[in-house]
A and B are shown apart, each in its own frame.
Chain A
Amino acid sequence: MPRIAVTVDGIRYEEDVEPRLLLVHLLRDRLGKTGTPVGCDTSNCGACTVMLDGKSVKSCSVLAVQADGSDVVTIEGLATAGTMHPMQRAFHEEHALQCGYCTPGMVMAAIDLLREDPDPSEETIRHGLEGNLCRCTGYCNIVRAVRRGAQSMGQAVTTP
């Protein structure tokens, strides 16, 4: 069984894993990182989205062995010193979640979207989040939250 070393939310783990083990199952079943849920088996829903070396991936379509040597950030690692990430706060303020199951993936995908376009239009947001499905909100408030998150993240960057 291959041994991998992976850093998840700032903690370094060494694990022996079957080559077929999915990253999301490593996170959930082995490391107790249950904040990242699974919503489908065809990589359509995006609920399991995490950051792998700074880029969003669907952790159901990454093997744990592929994450060897990588840095993973999950929804559980977003807050710093007990303060919500601006995108998490924006989702709260805009009521962009109901059942909350898609939320971890949606927040991670939204943050990644801003990496490419820090000030996205509504249309850019809607297309940028196409890989993340939500069944509760009808997406209106998610779009608003991403706009708000973009604004406060923009401010966070420019504020000295």
Chain B
Amino acid sequence: MTEELDAGVVAQQIAESGQLSEPDSTREVGKARRRKEDARLLAGRTTWTDNIQLPGLLHVAFKRSPMAHARIVGVDVSAARDMPGVVAVFSGQDVADEQGSLPCAWPVTEDIVIPDHPPMAVREVRYPGEAVACVVATDRYLAADALDAIDVDYEPLPPVLDMAEALTEASPKVHESGNRAFTWTFAQGDIDAAFRDAPVLIDRTYVQQRLIPTAMEPRAVAATTDGESFTLWSSTQIPHVLRVMLALTTGIPEHRLRVVAPDVGGGFGSKLQVTAEEVLCLLLTRRLGKPVKWTESRSEGNLTVHHGRDQVQHIALAAEADGRVRGVKVELLADMGAYLMLVTPGVPLLGAFMFNGIYKMDAYSFDCTGVFTTKMPTDAYRGAGRPEATYAIERVMDELAAELNLDPIEVRRRNWIRHEEFPYTTIAGLTYDSGNYEAATEKALSLFGYDKLRAEQSDRRDRGDPVQLGIGVSTYTEMCGLAPSRVLGSLSYGAGGWEHGSVRMLPTGKVEVVTGTSPHGQGHETAWSQIVADSLGVPFDDIAVVHGDTAISHKGMDTYGSRSLVVGGMAVLRACEKVKEKARRLAAHTLECSPDDLEFSQGAFKVKGTESSKTIQELALAAFAAHDLPEGVEPRLDADATFDPENFSFPHGTHLCAIEVDTETGMARIRKYVAVDDVGHVINPLIVEGQVHGGLAQGIAQALYEEAVHDAEGNLLTTTMADYLIPTAADLPDFVTDRTESPATSNPLGVKGVGEAGTIASTPAVVNAVVDALRPHGVHDIQMPCTPERIWRAIR
């Protein structure tokens, strides 16, 4: 109880200091602290996995399928084995008995089909780029040379590319069991009644194109063994989860396996995976008794890093004549790709509870079928399920506004949950704990100059200006802070959603914080230090945060789903509270008073009404020396804690996009983008703003630029950065960002998470703007990405 109370006090203090307008110089939380992580990254003193050099290190390269679907008739590796520098060459068949099957941790239904997924294909390849053999050589160039000497005999099989066709009887099969992986349904309220005689009915089909996550650091894996214990370095977001899953997959005992995520150059969900290459590097070091390393090329990565999105969404909305929504009906086809990877089937489920958005309604139904195709498996990509859902509801709300000739803000206002109605249990069964959609919207409208831009739009329409102006609205929310373990359990996920933190006061008064989260750009070292500095009253610079190595960070659930601060930051705060509680007992003993007579302020325990005090650093030394400890108090001033949230957190906000569309060329150019986000209390506004910027860029990229394209044979055409266009600095505008703060009530820090908000909100804002520009031309949808060609064709 004491812990919780103390955490509450800290939260209150954080709440008071979290306002940017009134910074409190004595508090770290709320300050725009420049990041601790930067110095080494800016100096090039980094430890990317590919930097790792070990004595006798061997280099691994993979022979990959040039076809989407084929039977492997034979693999001849004999010539490759004779190439210079080659140590070993193995086909899938050569490791068939040892390689196991890549895991899927989220069997969403009891009858889900989870096909065997060998790390290297043995009998059949089912997506382009699937590994069929590997070379181990003394040098990365020689390994690449030897790949060319491997002769694979394929018997082509028909590709399976279109989900709807895949579900027909006549379709070729990806797996013998058929192309349906699962069907998952959810319904609440009387959906038939909602749609019966509805004055307004909107019925749309949207395509969530397949995306390639494209973290800047390509994946890399290194592995070594002393014959008994194994160490694996990987460019991963999930060292802890990976250790468990690799132990289960390879049979290496978990206590003999150490997994390290060194510096990791971005992830966005793409490194939330257990990959074939990780399994095979462990297997190769076990077989050869030498350290091995594999680093992918970008082209390899575009083919074989799991892809994101890829859904066909059928959404129907029934409304009253005044625009009030009665109900929403969703039918999804979700492309699983060829196999179910770590959380592949769970991704659309994360969207299942979000298609109602921020709106009140009487009924909702959701029906999702996961479909196998001969493409790279899909899995988590920034937002994972929620961007897809948000896109559909925010697009269809605009359609409703257009149908009723209402302003899109007005139609939202008539439907959203009002400020005074929180906490509010939605039709999808989630309880949104806090939010203020009115405040965020008002702020956004004002920053945007909404009325003025609407007037300009009207003027351009009247003049028949070839450059039309469109205004796009997105009033989003999302569920993040993954997640309450009991909820994950109820959704058949294979693990929990808690997080762990350790806080160790060292004898010299410095503080070592161990977090179970695994940052790869998010700035946890800085933000966690700010939390600890305030809680323990020690200087920011006296705190080090370590992470990402299972030998150092024993427990953790890693970083994804905007969970790190909400769950991991809370675990660290809880550990601080335990440390302080222990320090209080020690201080009372030393100062010869009752613990209740002590007040803690600015890092020192003081006997109330006296000058007698001890700093927490002094107590750390006393706890180390252990010369005079009170009864029952163990040496060292440190503590472990875990936090398991009672609810998700629900960031929300209002995004507005003004876009100029040249009706003669089809070119769309964002003129102004305003994002007002409510992510609860803010630990570091600089980091929060950076997360929003990056999220916006990725969401805008889906709207305008990016798409994984396959040809009719199922070959991926966008295998390089010259073909798969992630935006450059010249493609994006400056962003106007601001915040409102409705603290989360599900954690004492009042924080909600910010990693995915920008991506979730921005895609519909941009497409709504493009469509808004073209409504006078009779356009009510443009398929993403809204390329000049698609826009140009839509007008004609």
A interface, CB within 8 angstroms of B: 18, 20-21, 25, 28-29, 32-42, 44-45, 47, 74-76, 79, 84, 88, 91-93, 95, 97-104, 107, 122, 125-127, 129-143
CA distance A93 to B686 in the complex (A): 10
CA distance A36 to B48 in the complex (A): 10
CA distance A134 to B215 in the complex (A): 9
Check A97–B42 contact: CB distance below 8 A: yes
The 6 A-B residue pairs with the shortest CB-CB distance in the complex, in nearest-first order = A35-B44, A101-B265, A100-B41, A99-B521, A138-B693, A138-B697
| A22 CB to nearest B CB, Å | 9
B230 at the interface (CB under 8 A from A): no
| Highest count of chain B CB atoms <10 Å: which of A40, A84, A102, A137 | A40
Q: Which residues of chain B come closer than 8 Å to A127, judged between CB atoms?
A: 729-730
Check B686–A100 contact: CB distance below 8 A: no
- A42, A103, A135, A140: the one contacting B726 at CB < 8 Å is A135
- B141, B686, B696, B721: the one contacting A95 at CB < 8 Å is B686
Q: Which residues of chain A come closer than 8 Å to B45, judged between CB atoms?
A: 35, 76
Check A97–B41 contact: CB distance below 8 A: yes
Residue of A nearest to B139 (CB): A29
| A128 CB to nearest B CB, Å | 8
CA distance A150 to B385 in the complex (A): 42
| B159 CB to nearest A CB, Å | 25
Contacts A36-B44, A99-B266, A136-B266 given; does A92 touch B35 at CB 8 Å = yes
Residue of B nearest to A47 (CB): B216
CA distance A98 to B521 in the complex (A): 4
Q: Encode B514-529 as 1/0 by CB contact (under 8 A) with A.
A: 0000001111000000
- A38, A126, A139: the one contacting B697 at CB < 8 Å is A139
| B305 CB to nearest A CB, Å | 12
Check B726–A107 contact: CB distance below 8 A: no
Contacts A98-B522, A138-B696, A142-B729 given; does A39 touch B218 at CB 8 Å = yes
| Highest count of chain B CB atoms <10 Å: which of A40, A107, A131, A138 | A138
Check A143–B297 contact: CB distance below 8 A: no
Q: Which residues of chain B come closer than 8 Å to A38, judged between CB atoms?
A: 50, 218, 295
B170 at the interface (CB under 8 A from A): no
Check A18–B43 contact: CB distance below 8 A: no
CA distance A65 to B1 in the complex (A): 69
Q: Which residues of chain B come closer than 8 Å to A129, judged between CB atoms?
A: 728-730
Check B694–A136 contact: CB distance below 8 A: yes
| B270 CB to nearest A CB, Å | 10
| B396 CB to nearest A CB, Å | 27
- B264, B297, B735: the one contacting A138 at CB < 8 Å is B735
Given contacts A98-B691, A99-B266, 20 further A-B contacts (CB under 8 A): A37-B265, A39-B217, A42-B721, A88-B43, A95-B686, A97-B41, A98-B521, A98-B690, A100-B46, A130-B730, A133-B216, A135-B215, A135-B216, A135-B694, A136-B694, A138-B696, A138-B758, A139-B693, A140-B732, A140-B734
CA distance A45 to B217 in the complex (A): 11
Check A99–B35 contact: CB distance below 8 A: no
Check B48–A37 contact: CB distance below 8 A: yes
| A76 CB to nearest B CB, Å | 4
B687 at the interface (CB under 8 A from A): yes
| B39 CB to nearest A CB, Å | 7
| B213 CB to nearest A CB, Å | 8
Contacts A35-B44, A98-B694, A138-B696 given; does A130 touch B721 at CB 8 Å = no
Q: Which residues of chain A come closer than 8 Å to B730, judged between CB atoms?
A: 126-127, 129-130
Residue of A nearest to B235 (CB): A101
CA distance A102 to B521 in the complex (A): 11
B interface, CB within 8 angstroms of A: 34-35, 37-39, 41-46, 48, 50-51, 53, 140-141, 214-218, 263-266, 268, 295, 297-299, 520-523, 686-687, 689-691, 693-698, 720-722, 726, 728-730, 732, 734-735, 758
CA distance A119 to B643 in the complex (A): 50
Check A91–B38 contact: CB distance below 8 A: yes
Contacts A99-B265, A101-B216 given; does A137 touch B34 at CB 8 Å = no
Contacts A75-B43, A129-B729, A133-B721 given; does A41 touch B38 at CB 8 Å = no
CA distance A139 to B39 in the complex (A): 19
Q: Which residues of chain A come closer than 8 Å to B299, judged between CB atoms?
A: 41-42
Q: Which residues of chain A come closer than 8 Å to B732, judged between CB atoms?
A: 126, 138-140
Check B720–A40 contact: CB distance below 8 A: yes
Contacts A138-B693, A141-B693 given; does A99 touch B216 at CB 8 Å = yes
CA distance A130 to B299 in the complex (A): 20
CA distance A130 to B728 in the complex (A): 5
Can you identify 27 A-B contacts, CB atoms within 8 angstroms?
A18-B141, A28-B50, A35-B44, A37-B50, A37-B265, A38-B295, A39-B298, A44-B721, A45-B721, A47-B216, A76-B43, A91-B42, A95-B687, A100-B265, A100-B521, A101-B265, A102-B216, A107-B42, A135-B266, A135-B726, A136-B521, A138-B693, A138-B758, A139-B732, A140-B735, A141-B693, A142-B729
Residue of A nearest to B297 (CB): A41
Check B44–A76 contact: CB distance below 8 A: yes
| B772 CB to nearest A CB, Å | 23
| B48 CB to nearest A CB, Å | 6
CA distance A44 to B697 in the complex (A): 18
Check A135–B735 contact: CB distance below 8 A: no
CA distance A147 to B214 in the complex (A): 27
Check B694–A84 contact: CB distance below 8 A: no
Residue of B nearest to A140 (CB): B693
CA distance A41 to B300 in the complex (A): 10
Residue of A nearest to B686 (CB): A95
Check A126–B48 contact: CB distance below 8 A: no
CA distance A18 to B140 in the complex (A): 13
Contacts A41-B720, A100-B265 given; does A88 touch B729 at CB 8 Å = no
CA distance A93 to B217 in the complex (A): 23
Contacts A42-B721, A100-B41 given; does A35 touch B50 at CB 8 Å = no
CA distance A132 to B729 in the complex (A): 8
CA distance A25 to B45 in the complex (A): 17
CA distance A132 to B264 in the complex (A): 19
CA distance A149 to B687 in the complex (A): 20
Q: Which residues of chain A come closer than 8 Å to B697, judged between CB atoms?
A: 135, 137-139
- A39, A88, A130: the one contacting B216 at CB < 8 Å is A39
Residue of A nearest to B684 (CB): A95
Q: Which residues of chain A come closer than 8 Å to B46, judged between CB atoms?
A: 34-35, 37, 100
| Highest count of chain B CB atoms <10 Å: which of A39, A47, A91, A125 | A39
CA distance A98 to B755 in the complex (A): 12
| B146 CB to nearest A CB, Å | 15
CA distance A121 to B331 in the complex (A): 48
Q: Which residues of chain B come closer than 8 Å to A125, judged between CB atoms?
A: 729
Check B298–A135 contact: CB distance below 8 A: no
Check A95–B35 contact: CB distance below 8 A: yes
Check B263–A100 contact: CB distance below 8 A: yes
Contacts A100-B263, A101-B217 given; does A95 touch B690 at CB 8 Å = yes
Q: Which residues of chain A come closer than 8 Å to B141, judged between CB atoms?
A: 18, 20-21, 25
Q: Which residues of chain A come closer than 8 Å to B722, judged between CB atoms?
A: 42, 44
Check A34–B44 contact: CB distance below 8 A: yes
| B485 CB to nearest A CB, Å | 29
Q: Which residues of chain A come closer than 8 Å to B38, judged between CB atoms?
A: 91-92, 97, 100
CA distance A136 to B698 in the complex (A): 9
CA distance A27 to B432 in the complex (A): 53
Q: Which residues of chain A come closer than 8 Å to B34, judged between CB atoms?
A: 92-93, 95
| Highest count of chain A CB atoms <10 Å: which of B39, B50, B218, B729 | B729
Q: Which residues of chain B come closer than 8 Å to A104, judged between CB atoms?
A: 44
